[in-house]
Structure 1
Amino acid sequence: MSEPVVETAQGRVRGRAVDGVLVFKGLRYGADTSGAGRFLPPQPPPTWSGVRDAFNYGDQSPQYASRLAAATPMSEDCLRINIWTPAADRGKRPVLLWFHGGGFEAGSGSSPLYDGTNMVKRGDVVLCTINHRLNVFGFCDLSGPLGSEFAQSGNCGYLDLVAAMRWVRENIERFGGDPGNVTIYGQSGGGRKVSVCFAGQEAAGLFHRGIVQSGSHLLVQTPEQSGRLTEALLKTLEIARSDARALQKTPVDKLQAAQREVIAAAGYRFEPVMDGIAFRQHPFVPDAPARTARVPMMVGTTETELSNQLGRDPTVYQLDDAGLRRRLKTYLPDGDVDAAVEAFRASAPAASPTELFFKITSWRSYIRNATLMAEARSRLNGAANPTWMYQVTWRSPAEGGRRYSQHTLDLPFMFDNVARAPNLTGPETPATRSMADSMANAWLAFARTGDPNHGGLPRWAPYDMKSRKVMLFDVPPRLVADPFAGERRFMERYSPVRATARDDS
């Protein structure tokens, strides 16, 4: 059937059969959020009669053009879902629901790297990606100036995720999926979104497993922090606090320009807030959320996350020991720099100053948070902790190997899309095929059973505070107890970090 038709709760949609997989793109899981819908919780999608084509990706949230944005139009009619399925046959397959990267301010579910074809064929699953509101459109807290009607305006982007999960629960069985077996997963900003869904009141019960990839989000903004951004936005746009509703009519480009000015001055961005409704405390500080304690989780990072972002500066590849120490003072207290270099060099004596720079900054910015998340879950669950921790340590030959194991390196492997990402992995080789087999099959096993073990891995034990078992995805993969003990112990002196800059993925 080249153009399959599926009856959803809103109306019939026509997809396409592509390379043996049925694909439906651009479906609405919520109504247009422009005008009177701006800064308010998402509303149900419209219904229709007849059959609507679902051949093309839908609009993405307004954002500045960047390599994270898709080629599709931008508008506030952005609550869209894309579906890849083996068959629309009510086959009760595991469902994977992907939240895209880009922090809380950029990105799209329409990236070619997120194409679900290969994973659907490999694992007989249903795979979905979504777009949702971002940046000021998704996280502008107007509860102060506008009161109870806008009580959750600072978390609209999170509520969009909830709306997508509700749409999946209502409709996915008609696309061959099991609404009782939904895995939410995401990398970078997508991992942050999974993190907050584990903590959010409204998300409870709508998903059954979660994977946090390079984006453990432990803290949300306080009302004071979000309030300062809102006040600065109003001031920049010369809108009186009593007339804050005028923000609903402000042109998109004008609102975006003001947002850029505000966050540049504040040093932090629009993102989820402790509104007392969705979030009554920080997601994973001081404790992991009890309501999702038994929901299986995978959490991990790459070894040198920040070689992606910081590696764009060509001078970083010429560092000597003195230059390493100078640069580290941006990330660590001056008095800690020598001890950091000593701790990290102890486990990697042959590492260059550049590699040490990437390792130390990656631990401070990403790996420390992921470790704290796994520890918090372990304390909550004890010996029955359903949390598996990993790190991608395979070193890419791309760019002469100078990025080591950078942020986003996991994507082509766990999506089984290596051919789409030679800039990350280099050409397809036996090594890249081995990595794809190890990781894609782990993600599929986890989606199916809540346990990532499969025949291509050493037996992967859940994380606990005693053995601290971590799967190192390399060729071959290895399970190691507390593989970075020295680095971990050094970093214990630091509090968790909150996202203050855009994640690049």
Structure 2
Amino acid sequence: MVATTDIPTAEGIVRGSRGRRVSRWRSIPFAAAPVGELRFRAPQPVTPWSGVRDATEFGFAAMQHRSGARIGPRRQQPTGEDCLTLNVTAPNGPSATPRPVMVFIHGGGYFIGTSALGLYSGARLAVLGDVIVVSMNYRLGAFGYVDFGEFSTPEQQFDSNLGLRDQVAALEWVQRNIAAFGGDPDNVTIFGESAGAHAVLALFATPAAAGLFHRGISQSPPADWGPSRADAQLFARRCVENLGATKETAAKALITASPNDIRRAVDKAVATVMRDQPGIFPVSPVVDEDFLPRSAVAAFTEGTAHRVPLIIGTNRDEGTLFVRFDDTLPTTPDRIRSVLRHADGDAESRVVAAYPGFPAKKVTVRMGGDFTFWRPAVAVTEAHSRHAPTYAYRFDYAPRSLHLAGFGATHALDLIPVFGTSPTFARALTAAGGYRGLLSVTRQFQQNWLAFARTGEPLPSWPAYTEDQRATMIIDSPPRVVHDPEKPKRLAWQGIHSPSLV
């Protein structure tokens, strides 16, 4: 029989499972189910319940193609609109003081992913750092990041930035309830990878998130994603057309159509944009002049982002994963030239000169990864360092097997050392060599992430980033600090932005 543990929250008692070292509570609702007339509306409060609510099993992942909710080699989590839940992992045993809280936001391009992935439970982080780890679901794709506001009627309103609003609602739940789990609501670190890393930066730029977190970690953020209101309206119209609706019938269709029909209509529109207009990703937080008044990069540049400590960085070989599995980045000569065409007159010659060997495939893959992740991350790092403690990193390590396979330190590889993995998986990943290196970078990530979550600073060996020194921690085996790494490339990308849909 599985041991259980009950915790009273503001909404009702939740029952989790108690293991040898940690206790877990799964799929606790932090907002009402966004179904029926609440579809495409801002998250609403949960109706309190009586008795004890079981929180030992996962519920639904957010609506998405079922392959995106894979949680094991042959296991996929059911998907559904009733997905606004979060999970809590806490060390067993008492603590003399409330524990720091680390809230993880999963990636997946804002259209796939789930907090139920075993890696995200954070059990190893919780035990090693004596912290509480929270992971959340939020609405994805069609249901979280398409602004259908133009099609609102007096009877049916449609809100913008639903996935971002969900994340704020989850952080509000943390403020209300985490103390009951032993956590400190005054010491909350948000961290995320890829789209989750972008979400961290978007929350820095969201006025409603003020005071809900106290520091952030952004791992491989595509930082300048974010359509303008005009771009968002054009994209929403394409989605409605794909749904077979007109402006007059859109409101009814968006409420009555099946969730999978809506998902397919939006997925078709996404595929068209990404095929025909490289460098644009239309399904992401919208600059709506209301909930998100400025894009993440603009907020950091203007100094209006929340002025709390930030760790931000990228992986050396971001682009290689996408070329192999999901070629959505500008990683070919033609797609690179397409994104540079939108910049100033000498952008193409400037960038190409900074990447000797162009147009060789290996070079263009690096350029695509740098354009999407490193280029805008540098802009955020520079800007935030003027206002709050900022720490930059680059993850260079990869076991020999990934080098042989052509991946290197690819996108999302950092999730393994951040969360830690089983010895069996670590041995398999490093069967061709590199086991000690993996242990080393795991220690580096975890010790720095946990020190930052506890104090707002990583380990003393990691200096803060300033524009005159540009100190960057190279996470490798062994680690090292480099000042202004890849300076010629950094200078070449200056002033280049993601193109517009309009």
Instruction: State the TM-score bracket (shorter-chain normalisation).
Output: 0.7 to 0.9
Count of aligned pairs = 479
CA distance in 2, matches of 1:490, 1:418: 41
Equivalences for 1:369-384 in 2 at 5 Å?
A: 369-378=376-385, 380-381=386-387
Q: Which residue of 1 aligns with 2:287?
A: 274
* The one of 197, 200, 216 aligned to 1:210: 216
- 2:64–2:112 CA contact under 8 A, matched in 1: yes
- The structural deviation recorded for 1:362 is 1.7
- 2:473–2:482 CA contact under 8 A, matched in 1: yes
Q: Is the aligned partner of 1:77 residue 2:88?
A: no
- 1:42–1:160 CA contact under 8 A, matched in 2: yes
More displaced 10-residue stretch of structure 1: 179-188 or 49-58: 49-58
Helix, strand or coil: the match of 2:481? Answer: strand
CA distance in 2, matches of 1:423, 1:110: 24
CA distance in 1, matches of 2:145, 2:153: 16
Return closer, same or farther for 1:236/1:341 CA change in 2, 3 Å cut-off. closer
Q: Is the aligned partner of 1:389 residue 2:392?
A: yes
- The structural deviation recorded for 1:123 is 0.4
Return closer, same or farther for 1:16/1:35 CA change in 2, 3 Å cut-off. same
- 1:11–1:51 CA contact under 8 A, matched in 2: yes
* The one of 454, 458, 461 aligned to 1:448: 454
Q: Is the aligned partner of 1:37 residue 2:38?
A: yes
Q: Is the aligned partner of 1:300 residue 2:305?
A: no
User: What code does the residue aligned with 1:29 have?
Assistant: F
Q: Is the aligned partner of 1:495 residue 2:497?
A: yes
Cα deviation, 1:243-294, whole Å, max 9, x if unaligned, reads: 3331112111111121122223344433221222112222222743645442
User: What code does the residue aligned with 2:475 have?
Assistant: F
- The structural deviation recorded for 1:344 is 3.6
- The structural deviation recorded for 1:240 is 3.4
* The one of 346, 350, 367 aligned to 2:374: 367
- 2:297–2:376 CA contact under 8 A, matched in 1: no
* The one of 173, 176, 179 aligned to 1:173: 179
- 1:344–1:486 CA contact under 8 A, matched in 2: no
Q: Is the aligned partner of 1:482 residue 2:484?
A: yes
More displaced 10-residue stretch of structure 1: 403-412 or 209-218: 209-218
Return closer, same or farther for 1:441/1:425 CA change in 2, 3 Å cut-off. farther
Equivalences for 1:40-439 in 2 at 5 Å?
A: 40-67=41-68, 69-70=70-71, 71-87=76-92, 91-146=97-152, 153-246=159-252, 247-267=254-274, 268-285=281-298, 287-288=300-301, 290-312=303-325, 329=337, 332=340, 340=351, 342-345=353-356, 353-378=360-385, 380-381=386-387, 385-399=388-402, 400-417=404-421, 419=423, 425-427=429-431, 429-439=435-445
Cα deviation, 1:16-67, whole Å, max 9, x if unaligned, reads: 1223101111111111111111010111122212112211122111101235
- The structural deviation recorded for 1:420 is 7.6
Return closer, same or farther for 1:111/1:286 CA change in 2, 3 Å cut-off. closer
CA distance in 2, matches of 1:289, 1:19: 48
Helix, strand or coil: the match of 1:272? Answer: coil
- The structural deviation recorded for 1:485 is 1.0
Helix, strand or coil: the match of 1:241? Answer: coil
CA distance in 2, matches of 1:280, 1:337: 31
- 1:418–1:425 CA contact under 8 A, matched in 2: no
Return closer, same or farther for 1:313/1:352 CA change in 2, 3 Å cut-off. farther
Helix, strand or coil: the match of 1:101? Answer: coil
Helix, strand or coil: the match of 2:477? Answer: coil
Return closer, same or farther for 1:325/1:145 CA change in 2, 3 Å cut-off. closer
- 2:339–2:498 CA contact under 8 A, matched in 1: no
Identity value in percent? 30
- 1:446–1:452 CA contact under 8 A, matched in 2: yes
CA distance in 1, matches of 2:52, 2:69: 32
Q: CA RMSD in A?
A: 2.9
Q: Which residue of 1 aligns with 2:462?
A: 460
More displaced 10-residue stretch of structure 1: 191-200 or 81-90: 81-90
More displaced 10-residue stretch of structure 1: 89-98 or 22-31: 89-98
Q: TM-score, normalised by structure 1?
A: 0.87
- 1:84–1:120 CA contact under 8 A, matched in 2: yes
More displaced 10-residue stretch of structure 1: 254-263 or 71-80: 254-263
Q: TM-score, normalised by structure 2?
A: 0.88
More displaced 10-residue stretch of structure 1: 147-156 or 91-100: 147-156
Helix, strand or coil: the match of 1:153? Answer: coil
CA distance in 2, matches of 1:423, 1:368: 34
CA distance in 2, matches of 1:5, 1:15: 6
- The structural deviation recorded for 1:486 is 1.7
CA distance in 2, matches of 1:313, 1:274: 27
CA distance in 2, matches of 1:313, 1:143: 30
Cα deviation, 1:97-128, whole Å, max 9, x if unaligned, reads: 00000121111111122121111111000001
Question: Structure 2 unaligned runs (5+)?
Answer: 275-280
CA distance in 1, matches of 2:192, 2:83: 18
List, as ranges, runs of 4+ consecutive aligned residues in structure 1 with deviation greater than 6 Å: 148-152, 334-338
- 1:29–1:80 CA contact under 8 A, matched in 2: yes
